[in-house]
Structure 1
């Protein structure tokens, strides 16, 4: 490390020598490049409040990665400080306009929200980047809570359609008799109770953009036929209409169901499966990417404490060991809920084993057959009981602390039969 860069980092050469790169350089990815063997050129990196343009290049010896070399692009610290102010200003403006745009086009997540450094996650990100630019249909598969919707949002945001609408439809949550009109709309007078002037369907609203059909395995057979026509002919037919309408929509689907088995049982159309499965992305369950657990735990800790305004910045060794040992049947969604519970229950600035949901401390056998909803209900009840006791059963205060409305708190007290 050059003396100039040492001064920029505020360390001495003796401090840096022999230390792991993460201990010396903030937000570094040098160790990742040394592991993956993939170079990273002109990456914007935040170091000590300043942005530097970093290049990271793997070093090979007989086709084996033996290390990595990194450079940052600046010749004069004072000049760089002035440039950094300009970059920060541009990024602030960009972030503001991005947030405003996301409010209107339906996108809530980006690929940056897919947190992790495991090989499976890095490979998944790489596949998303490769598939995003085209118009190919993508089927996203994975267990509940693994982040399938996040991937769909990321594909749209990275595609040429990002300036158009992203529309999500949960095929399992819409009553079967309403699904056709929700997807394709209807014309005036199509049926009793139809709105005057008709209604635009989700596909028409997404014209030029992307439609995300979540839980595609729950789509009834007659709707599978109509969806196949949309994929083949690029047109929809509103309920009650006399003619079809052309639409230009990219279709992304997702499921946690065994589609191949459903095809064997004639519960899902094979021809539709081949249409939506032009490209497939598989999200690994959390138990198969355990090296990401601590990264995700701290990611959620920062996210939740920022939202709640609590000063908690550490998870102690025993608590982290428990997090690493648990099998996480609810995947990332369950982990985030568990960290939120711990933040609520923590008394100091550190999450310890007593802050975590009680079900994490029970044996594997006691939890593996218990539904996730039941586990989370138990945890929610314990939080409310603890906060009520802590605040001397002042319900207004407890509602404020928990960030929920007074009526919601009363409903939960009634639901869980809490004595107060």
Structure 2
């Protein structure tokens, strides 16, 4: 290997914007002519002085502590931003005995030009991070959770606290309470916000396809497999978060495999003998008590404990009815944009009418009725008449209002309401259960369960 001559070394150093050498005590032992010009001083004024005396913001001490170089550190000297590189000098026994310093700008104009380029690059990175987050990340944040009631404020505090952790979250709550919104908000506030947020409805994947969907598969793993194999949902979510909605409907055969993912932090694709390590945050949601399912033998107790590390209860709308005016106002604004309507508000009598109802379908049901009312409206202000479009809600409001307090059984009334609404929707869809489930905002599996519970054919 050829060697560099002293002449070549001096020529290289003089060609740099500036160059200096520190000894083991971080004192200057050499400074180039360009360095002196940049610092507005002479060589004699600098040699043997400690580096922080000349440049208070220096990171040279970090190089001495870690033995690792520091590149492109911005330091302001005489109103000029210098991007400085620090490179450690080592002895034969690998101890740091000094430091080389050199800058990559020369003069105010060049410094400002580089700053401008870095700023533009930073803005591009931020733009693409936001775009990637919109396409592959969470769509909602804490701002999308509307309400000022104690229940909602408590919920928001729980979300903020959960976002600071990497532990598994279990969100429990009735259908329509916004469990997915909570999951989105946790991811958005976490350190994983710029990484993938994978959403999976456990009831929407057939049991025979579930393993390949979640764990992926290798080439030729089974008949019909893609030539190059396929990444499973867990691997897609690597370094990000995965949201398991309706986890209560996870088949018993899959529960041990999910438990292993949570315990071992690795997945084994179908057709492979090798496990792949993953780093994911699991957020699960259920509209039924998992503990009740454990007691019935329908859900593994060990998986329940692995999921139930941080527990969040999504409040039912009937527990914070004072938020209905805010919710309705927000829904009107949102739906105006989506539907191209120009509804300006809602009359007090209509709000009072809505407040008398207990909303067993929660916020999702409320939004459905607001949307229908906006389609029925003949004036810019929604009236009570616009909301009386369904015999179900009309009859239930009347029953709630007239029921004697000693016979008022909310659970029975809610069950009867659900049965009436399901029958009404099935009539409108002529018995098409897939369309009915879509209109009701639930999965087809949940619809079948409710039909079975209610004895509806």
Q: In which range does the TM-score fall when normalised by the shorter chain?
A: 0.5 to 0.7
Q: Deviation of residue 101 (structure 1)?
A: 3.4
Q: Which residue of 2 aligns with 1:295?
A: 326
Give distance in 2, aligned partners of 1:282 and 1:160: 23
Report the TM-score, using the length of structure 1 for normalisation. Answer: 0.65
SS at match of 1:251: strand
Please state if 1:158 is matched with 2:158: no
SS at match of 1:262: helix
Q: Which residue of 2 aligns with 1:231?
A: 262
Q: For residues 228 and 130 of structure 1, do their structure 2 counterparts lie closer, same or farther at Cα, with a shift above 3 Å needed?
A: same
SS at match of 1:358: coil
CA-to-partner distance for each residue in 1:86-105, whole Å, 9 max, x for gaps? xxxxxxx9998786333322
Please state if 1:252 is matched with 2:283: yes
Q: For residues 375 and 159 of structure 1, do their structure 2 counterparts lie closer, same or farther at Cα, with a shift above 3 Å needed?
A: farther
Give distance in 2, aligned partners of 1:205 and 1:136: 19
CA-to-partner distance for each residue in 1:280-318, whole Å, 9 max, x for gaps? 000110001111011101110111112223221121122
Q: Which residue of 1 aligns with 2:349?
A: 318
Q: Deviation of residue 234 (structure 1)?
A: 0.6
Q: Which residue of 1 aligns with 2:394?
A: 361
Q: Deviation of residue 133 (structure 1)?
A: 1.7
Q: Which residue of 2 aligns with 1:206?
A: 237
Q: Residue 143 of structure 2: which of 109, 112, 135 is its match?
A: 112
Q: Deviation of residue 144 (structure 1)?
A: 0.3
Is the contact made by 2:243 and 2:283 (CA closer than 8 Å) also made in structure 1? yes
Structure with greater Cα Rg: 2
Please state if 1:135 is matched with 2:166: yes
Q: Which residue of 2 aligns with 1:41?
A: none
Q: Deviation of residue 154 (structure 1)?
A: 0.6
Q: For residues 197 and 98 of structure 1, do their structure 2 counterparts lie closer, same or farther at Cα, with a shift above 3 Å needed?
A: closer
Is the contact made by 2:239 and 2:280 (CA closer than 8 Å) also made in structure 1? yes
Q: Deviation of residue 376 (structure 1)?
A: 5.9
Please state if 1:192 is matched with 2:239: no
Give distance in 1, aligned partners of 2:371 and 2:274: 51
Q: For residues 246 and 96 of structure 1, do their structure 2 counterparts lie closer, same or farther at Cα, with a shift above 3 Å needed?
A: closer
**Count of paired positions:** 289
Q: Residue 277 of structure 1: which of 300, 304, 308 is its match?
A: 308
Give distance in 1, aligned partners of 2:329 and 2:203: 33
Is the contact made by 1:341 and 1:379 (CA closer than 8 Å) also made in structure 2? no
Report the TM-score, using the length of structure 2 for normalisation. Answer: 0.60
Structure 2 residue ranges without an equivalent (≥5): 1-123, 401-412, 431-457
Give distance in 2, aligned partners of 1:192 and 1:119: 55
Q: Which residue of 2 aligns with 1:305?
A: 336
Q: Which residue of 2 aligns with 1:217?
A: 248
Q: For residues 376 and 233 of structure 1, do their structure 2 counterparts lie closer, same or farther at Cα, with a shift above 3 Å needed?
A: same
